[in-house]
Amino acid sequence: MFGGGWQAIDGPGFLVEHVSACGDDGRQLLAVRGPGGRVSVGKGAPGTAVAWTPAGGPDGWAPHPRTDLAWAVAGADAEWLFATRADGTVRALTTTDPVWTVVGDGALQVAVAGSRLAPTVRAPGQVEVFSQNPDGSLAWSWWS
């Protein structure tokens, strides 16, 4: 059952081109991408204003301007957001530290730049990332 209809949400202050969401009964977690690959992470509770934090990286790493944003929930307060860069590397950030960081033992390298991502957690402490490459092929990697 669809309840309540659509409601407006305050945005991050720029045009949103892509959105990804996760959360639970008590909170909403949003990630949005705008022009040039600009990314912000939003936190809020249903019916309250969303607080936006821009994503960044200490080494200048920035997502591809058309990247997907994909969440993996590893547990309570352990949400990871994944994105790719034009060179095909994959990085992640957390809602507690919105800085793009290398995951696992090194930067994941997908087969082709511009791949779409689908991360999941099937076992405690192990994140798996699947990618759909622009040529239709699939790839997979994991870390714990």
Whether residue 29 is predicted with pLDDT greater than 80 in this model: the reply is yes
Are 99 and 58 contacting, i.e. CB atoms less than 8 angstroms apart? yes
Amino acid at position 66, single letter: R
Q: pLDDT at position 139, please?
A: 81
Q: Which range marks the domain in which residue 112 is found?
A: 18-143
On whether residue 45 sits in a domain, the answer given is: yes
**CATH code at 109?**
2.120.10.70
Task: Round to whole Å and give the CA distance between 72 and 94.
Answer: 10
Is residue 6 one of the residues assigned to a domain?
A: no
Q: Tally the domains of the chain.
A: 1
Letter for the amino acid at 113?
Answer: A
Percent of the chain past pLDDT 70, that is, above it, reads 88
pLDDT value for 31: 95
Nearest to 10, CA basis, from 51, 53, 55: 51
| Residue range 9-24: mean pLDDT, rounded | 92
Query: CA 37 to CA 120: how far, in whole Å?
Result: 23
* Helix, coil or strand: residue 35: helix
pLDDT at 67 over 80: yes
Q: Comparing C-alpha atoms, which of 60, 70, 65 is closest to residue 22?
A: 70
> Would the pTM of this model clear 0.95, i.e. be above it?
no
Which pLDDT value is given to residue 109?
Answer: 61
In this structure, is residue 10 part of a structural domain? no
1 in a structural domain = no
Task: Flag whether 50 is in a domain.
Answer: yes
